[in-house]
Structures are given as structure tokens and as C-alpha cells.
Structure 1
Amino acid sequence: MTLLNGIPESMLIPLAYRATETNEKSPIIADLHSQKIFKEIDYPFENISNSWPTQVGISVRTYLLDQQVSQFLKQSSKPLIINIGCGLDTRRTRLELNDIPWIDLDVPEVIDIRKQFFSETSTYKMIPESMLDDTWMDDVQKFEFYQHNMEMLIIFEGVLMYFDAQTITQLLNKIVSRLKYQKLTFAIEFCSKLIAKNTHRHKAVSQLESKPQFKYGYNRLAEVMNILPLGLSIETEYNYFDYFTDRWRLFGKCRHIPYLKNRLNNKIVILQHSAPVENKIS
């Protein structure tokens, strides 16, 4: 396998735990495609695959984002899904969304690996670029399925916690500015401040050979407002402790204690930005 350095190496963590979760007696998610990829990747997974809280967290995250995608598609007449920092995500395959316009974006070395397991189609494209490189937004608008009045769901799964607040703000602002004529929904995974300050204690991330570091987290949802560009509003927050509580063991009790709930787990935040009606292109 191509050597992965830094953040790209972290894509192997969710792959391993989705595959492992699928073997559970009552799995939160079933992902046979991840199992297939997992078996074919040459990597010392034993170093990063021995943390049950990480397995539950990734499984709940996968479940929540699957639900968000399904809900988005029910409400959208002209949908486009953009998965930023896609890694070896299998959501499009797992949910059988072959006819839905879908774009997976990641750095070139990741897309090179991804292309060993996924093939582009008329409705599915892969962009081998950094999310911080503006040119990917030009690429999106060149695909045949692209329309100026599409409704977009942009997913950041296991990505933005590796970047500081300023970088996150600048990135979101660029997306909103460049894709302003679409109705945009963002589904973003965040961690807490405590988790962001303790990458070295994370049972999986700390064992990666390239040692990537978390840089941003929040405890109170109001803090996220401070890093959002104008025009973006928070619709919902989903805390992982609120789902499949029996699988969290004693940690499941934290959902009743806001101080612990906000500091000991990750969450998915849904953001909305509506296209300017008076200038919208039809």
C-alpha cells in the first residue's frame, strides 16, 4: 500500500472499525464492503483496532451520517453529495446510491488507493486534491451532472478536528462564497476541547505511525458560532452518547450529565446556508 503520512493515515481507523463492527452480534452498522477492503489492505491494523469506545464512536458516527444522507435525499429534488476527506468511506456503496450525483474528495495519495476499490461512473466522481486547494470547487462545476441550482450536502467526517479554528473558518467561507447559488447543508463531525488536547491519549489515533494531531474542538455548541462565516446557521447537534446507549457501557450514563456529555465525546453538527433567492440561477 502507498505510504500514508499525517492525516491521510487516519482513514484506516474508520475502515478497521466498520469492518470489526460488522462482525458484532447486533451491529450498529453492517458494512461488508469495508470488510472486503480491510482484508486487502496491507497495514498493521492490530496497532489501531483494539479500542471498543473508538469502535462504538465510529459506528454511531456512521449511523448518524447515514441517516442524515437518507433524510437529505428525501427532501431534495436536485441533490449532490460531496464527501470531503473521504478516505475509504463506503457510504455511497452501502446505501446503494448509484444514481445519486456524488463526489469524493481527498488528497492524491488517498484517491490513488481509493481507485483500487471504487470506479467512477456518470454520477460518481473522485477529485484527487486537498480540500484547502480552491481548484476542487472549479472541478465540481465541470462535471456533467452539475447544475447551478442543485441542493448540496457536504460531509466532513473525521476531518476538521485535525485543523485549527482559523483554517476551518476560511475553508467554510470559501465553500459558501464559491457555491453560493446552491442550497448548502453541511454535516460536520467535531470533537470536544478535551479530546482535541489529548490526541496522545486516543487509543487509535495515537498509534498511527505518522502521529497526526487534533487541533480544534468545542464543548458548548455556542462556541461553534464563533468560527462560522456569515450566512451559515446551526440546525442540529447530535451527541454520540445519545445513541445506542447500551453499547457505551458506563459512558452511556454521561448523557445525563451535560458537563461530561459535552467533554467526553464527539458530535455531528448540521449547518445550513440558503442560496440568495434574488440572484439564484435557474
Structure 2
Amino acid sequence: MIINIKLYIHFFIVPYSKERTAMTQLQGIPESLLIPLAARSYETEKAHAIIKDPISQRIMAKLDYDFDKFSASWITQVGISVRTWLIDQLVRRFIEQAKQPLIINIGCGLDTRRQRLNLEDIPWIDLDVPDVILLRKQFFQETELNRFIAKSLLDETWMDDVRTWPPYTENSDILIIIEGVMMYFEHSEVQQFFNFVSQKLNAHQLQMIVECCSQLMAEHTHYHPTVSRLDSRPRFKYGYNRLSDFVKILPRTLRVTSEHSLFDYHSRRWKWFGLCRWIPFLKKRMNNKIVIIEQRESGI
């Protein structure tokens, strides 16, 4: 099924309006971008919110879509809020340590991190499929330091777009963010992506922040409290339970430096479900992970 979404006026220029109509079509996996948008918006309303994102609230208010079907899933709400908060911290840390940071946000959707963290002075590329970039352009404007690339992550020509972008240099320290994306691709496609990126960026200080789901969750998308409610019914394809299984798909030129379970952060918000963090078997299978990957030094 197809979702019709229209934005009436760019919200950065014109004051908020309740008028909403339909224009852009999202089908299949791109529809899933509406889930984190809603989660960040709902979280912002909470008194002790994990994150605050008024930009997402304004975007959501202008989309002609039934967001109410996501409002009852508190587990997804907490999970996305925690992952957003955690990746925010990791991005800040990368920028503090990098000499010439350049960030590539793959599967950007309607992500607001660059704006929320006031990173307008950092070279930043937002990459997603054409329909999503078309939608994104209704809310965000490209600048000299923020480029949009309308391609799939599996279209290897996006790297040529990066290399011909003026802010890119051979000395750029590159961070790639892959949030809420990898679970929608096959095992072989995920492996292909890492091989390609490692080969093309082997001369850089490279770091990747990658969100992964468990194999159990990948095999049961129809039980997911929000993805299963999407009209287009996308499904998860890749996930892992043990970190050693994930490491096997990486080329020898990449190494995992850390893995973070979302259960380990903001424990009070997980309620009784958070007890899973004390049971390794459940922790590995009932929660998403954030994996930090780096390029090995030459010769290792």
C-alpha cells in the first residue's frame, strides 16, 4: 500500500499551520521513517524526556498520516529515544576527537540530529532513497556544509558524490551513522556494504555507528509493536544475537571496538522489561544494539 504525504509550506520559513494535504508517496521501507519521527515527537512532550526534539514535533504536525497507531507502543518509544540519546553522545565524542570531521548519515529519513546538536559547522551528508530525500527537502535545506544524496546505500556511486563534494578532503576523519536501517537488508547485502565502504575509505580515519537488531527480532517482524502497523508491511531481514556472528560478516580491515545494548541506559524507563538486561540470553535477543566499528590501522 502507498502512503500519501504532503507538506504545505516549509516550516523553517513560515509559522506553524494546521493545514495539511498530501503530495509525496512513501512505499515499503521508507514508510518506517515515520516511526522514529513520532517517537521523538512523543518523547519531547514528557516531563523528564530522554531527548527534546521540537523540530520533529513541527514536522509531524504537517504530515497527513495516522500517527496515533504508534502512540500506544511505549517499548518502541523508549527504545528509539534511548538510541537517539546514545548516538547523540557518540557523535559528539567523535567530533571532539576528530581533526577534520565529516559525517555521513545513511538512511537519514527525517532525522534532526544535525539541527538538534547545533552541528551546522560540521560537513554533513544525508543519504537516502530519492522519495525520502524529496520529502526531506520540504523541511530541510541543503547548504555548503550539508549535502543530500538521493541514492540507496547499496548504490556504490554515492561514494563518488562524497569524494567530489568540496568539503571532503583526503584528510577528512569520517563518521558513518547507520540508524534504523541495517535490519531491512539481507545478510549478503550488509556484508557487501561493509566491504565496499572499507575498500573506498581505507585511507581515512573511519568510524561507523551502526544499529542492529537481534536475529530473533529479524525473524518476527510481524510481532513488532510499530513496524507491524505500517501500511506497507516492510520486514526485517538481518539481525544477530551474538556479537561474534556480526564480526564474521566484516572484512578484516574493520574491527568492532564496542557494543552497546539499549537496555543499559535509562533503566527506569524500561519498567519491568528492563529486567532482561540482567539475563544475557534475553538481553541478546530482546533488544537492539549500537555497534561501533573502526578501520584497522594499515598492516594489522
Which band: TM-score by shorter chain? over 0.9
Aligned position for 1:100: 122
Q: How does 1:66-215 map to 2 (within 5 A)?
A: 66-215=88-237
In the aligned structure 2, how far is the partner of 1:192 from the partner of 1:133?
25
Question: Are 2:257 and 1:235 aligned?
Answer: yes
Is contact 1:182–1:275 with CA below 8 Å preserved after alignment? no
Question: Are 2:268 and 1:246 aligned?
Answer: yes
Higher relative contact order structure (alpha carbons within 8 Å, sequence separation ≥ 6) = 1
Aligned position for 2:8: none
In the aligned structure 2, how far is the partner of 1:12 from the partner of 1:128?
18
Is contact 1:182–1:274 with CA below 8 Å preserved after alignment? no
Structure 2: which amino acid aligns with 1:234?
Answer: V
In the aligned structure 2, how far is the partner of 1:226 from the partner of 1:30?
37
Segment of structure 1 superposing worse, 19-28 or 37-46: 37-46
Aligned position for 1:30: 52
Q: How does 1:19-58 map to 2 (within 5 A)?
A: 19-58=41-80
Aligned position for 1:63: 85
Shift of residue 141, structure 1, vs aligned partner: 0.6
In the aligned structure 2, how far is the partner of 1:255 from the partner of 1:134?
38
In the aligned structure 2, how far is the partner of 1:143 from the partner of 1:243?
37
Shift of residue 275, structure 1, vs aligned partner: 6.0
Map Cα deviations across residues 133-181 of structure 1 (whole Å, 9 max, x no partner).
1110000011110101211110110000011111101011111111221
Structure 2: which amino acid aligns with 1:154?
Answer: I
Residue 81 of structure 2: SS of its match in structure 1? helix
TM-score (structure 1 length as normaliser): 0.96
In the aligned structure 1, how far is the partner of 2:196 from the partner of 2:296?
15
Q: How does 1:210-225 map to 2 (within 5 A)?
A: 210-225=232-247
Aligned position for 2:21: none
Shift of residue 47, structure 1, vs aligned partner: 2.1
Residue 55 of structure 2: SS of its match in structure 1? helix
Structure 1: which amino acid aligns with 2:41?
Answer: A
Match of 1:7 among 11, 29, 53: 29
Shift of residue 48, structure 1, vs aligned partner: 2.8
In the aligned structure 2, how far is the partner of 1:119 from the partner of 1:20?
25
Structure 1: which amino acid aligns with 2:139?
Answer: F
Shift of residue 253, structure 1, vs aligned partner: 1.2
Map Cα deviations across residues 210-267 of structure 1 (whole Å, 9 max, x no partner).
1100011111111111111121101000101100001000011111111111110001
Residue 3 of structure 1: SS of its match in structure 2? strand
In the aligned structure 2, how far is the partner of 1:269 from the partner of 1:40?
34
Is contact 1:13–1:49 with CA below 8 Å preserved after alignment? no
Map Cα deviations across residues 97-117 of structure 1 (whole Å, 9 max, x no partner).
010000000001000000011
Residue 130 of structure 1: SS of its match in structure 2? coil
Aligned position for 2:16: none
Is contact 1:106–1:127 with CA below 8 Å preserved after alignment? yes
| Alignment gaps of 5+ in structure 2 | 6-23
Map Cα deviations across residues 38-95 of structure 1 (whole Å, 9 max, x no partner).
1111111122332000000000000110001000001001000000000000000000
Same amino acid, percent of matched pairs: 54
In the aligned structure 2, how far is the partner of 1:230 from the partner of 1:114?
36
Residue 26 of structure 1: SS of its match in structure 2? coil
In the aligned structure 2, how far is the partner of 1:53 from the partner of 1:217?
19
Structure 2: which amino acid aligns with 1:126?
Answer: F
| Alignment gaps of 5+ in structure 1 | 278-282
Q: Which runs of 4+ in 1 moved over 6 A?
A: none
Shift of residue 274, structure 1, vs aligned partner: 4.2
In the aligned structure 2, how far is the partner of 1:187 from the partner of 1:115?
24
Counting matched residue pairs gives 277
Say if 1:148 and 1:276 are closer, same or farther in 2 by CA, change over 3 A. Answer: farther
